[in-house]
């Protein structure tokens, strides 16, 4: 039985990774400090003999920690997300996303892990030309994006210097069940679904014509497993649907009234992954259509009744630092 470590395994994408690995018969060790993840995301696996969960801050793990023993794969999703808090608390993001990655890399190196798959972020591209290839210039617009890119650089460096087999997957706009509902203003799906569940207007930034490369979470997990099982090393791949959808199209599928907000600095008009490289190297392509993915989310609408409900006024307050610090960023 192969053994896999999933950092952030109680979180959004990480818990779906755990689902896939257990389904494929792997032994899974989850490392999660539960700051944003939730054990409820793994409740359907309670008592599973092949699953262990360790609540710990990964940056505190020593390189010889038993969690690394005999591990075949490491899937590194753990870290801090959200844009606005990263602007307000940049050092916390560097510690979590850079120091945490370094701890996992060194432990993996010492243990002789066969494949380290890093969850990178497409935010490293900033305001990129589209469709965006992996060769596009790196231009992070805020500390979250910078911290995730620094983690990727470290991972590739460990691959080059220490021969640790590393693959980095730059995730575009992932969505799906168990998406995080933290108190921070963030991803459009979480904001819209909570508003829809409470009958409030959907808060659309700008005119809603901006497009995002939404990719369904189970497709993301499948890309990570293919990367782990491949012989590819030292490579970076985009993971997106390759078919950007407008925010207005999302509004149409969710339904409800709309309230418009000012356009924000540092946000691209379009995110669009060129996925030809991952298709050619790993044989991966998305399987879940946007319409089917949104329909699945709407069937679980009740879960969003306990999520924060954002209004134009509360969003203006929450994003004040965004406008303050990013207005001059290019």
- 21-35 confidence digits (pLDDT tens): 999 999 999 999 999
Rounded to 10°, the helix 188-197/290-299 angle is: 40
Range(s) of the chain covered by CATH 3.90.25.10: 175-212+242-272+288-326
Range(s) of the chain covered by CATH 3.40.50.720: 3-173+215-239
pLDDT at res. 329: 57
CATH superfamily of 175-212+242-272+288-326: UDP-galactose 4-epimerase, domain 1 (3.90.25.10)
pLDDT at res. 9: 98
**Backbone CA torsion sign across 164, 78, 263, 303:** positive
| Model confidence pLDDT, tens digit, residues 98-141 | 999 999 999 999 999 999 999 999 999 999 999 999 999 999 99
| Model confidence pLDDT, tens digit, residues 59-106 | 999 999 999 999 999 999 999 998 989 999 999 999 999 999 999 999
Beta bridge partners of 54: 31
Mean pLDDT value across the chain? 95
Catalytic hit among 93, 144, 175, 185: 144
pLDDT at res. 15: 98
Domain 3-173+215-239 has CATH 3.20.19.10: no
The distance between the two most distant Cα atoms of the chain, rounded to a whole number of Å, is 55
Residue 40 has pLDDT above 60, yes or no: yes
What is the rounded distance in angstroms from the CA atom of residue 216 to the CA atom of residue 219? 5
pLDDT at res. 185: 79
Q: Would residue 185 show up in a list of annotated catalytic residues for this protein? A: no
The predicted model scores a pTM of 0.96
Residue 272 burial (C-beta neighbours within 10 Å; 0-12, 13-18, 19+): buried
What is the rounded distance in angstroms from the CA atom of residue 326 to the CA atom of residue 298? 33
SS3 190: helix
Q: Which of 241, 140, 251, 141 is nearest to 205 (CA)?
A: 251
């Amino acid at each position: 039985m192969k053994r896999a470590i999933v950092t952030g395994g109680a979180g959004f994408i990480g818990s779906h990774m755990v689902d896939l690995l257990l389904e494929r018969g792997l032994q899974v060790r989850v490392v999660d400090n539960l700051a944003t993840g939730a054990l409820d995301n793994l409740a359907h696996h309670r008592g599973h003999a092949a699953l262990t969960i360790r609540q710990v801050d990964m940056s505190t793990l020593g390189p010889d920690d038993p969690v690394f023993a005999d591990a075949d794969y490491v899937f590194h999703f753990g870290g801090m997300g959200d844009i606005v808090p990263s602007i307000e608390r940049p050092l916390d993001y560097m510690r979590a996303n850079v120091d945490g990655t370094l701890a996992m890399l060194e432990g993996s190196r010492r243990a002789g892990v066969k494949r380290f798959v890093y969850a990178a972020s497409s935010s490293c591209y900033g305001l990129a030309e589209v469709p965006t290839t992996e060769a596009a210039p790196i231009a992070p617009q805020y500390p979250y994006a910078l911290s995730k890119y620094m983690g990727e650089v470290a991972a590739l460096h460990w691959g080059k210097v220490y021969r640790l087999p590393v693959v980095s997957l730059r995730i575009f706009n992932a969505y799906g069940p168990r998406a995080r509902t933290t108190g921070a203003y963030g991803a459009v799906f979480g904001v819209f679904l909570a508003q829809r569940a409470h009958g409030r207007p959907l808060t659309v930034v700008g005119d809603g014509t901006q497009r995002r490369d939404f990719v369904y979470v189970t497709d993301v997990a499948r890309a990570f497993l293919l990367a782990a099982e491949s012989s590819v090393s030292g490579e970076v791949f985009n993971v997106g649907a390759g078919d950007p959808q407008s925010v207005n199209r999302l509004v149409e599928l969710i339904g409800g009234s709309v309230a418009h907000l000012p356009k924000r600095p540092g946000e691209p008009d379009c995110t669009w992954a060129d996925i030809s490289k991952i298709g050619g190297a790993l044989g991966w392509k998305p399987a879940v259509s946007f319409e089917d993915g949104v329909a699945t989310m709407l069937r679980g609408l009740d879960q969003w009744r306990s999520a924060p409900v954002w209004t134009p006024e509360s969003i203006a307050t929450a994003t004040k630092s965004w406008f303050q610090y990013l207005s001059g960023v290019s």
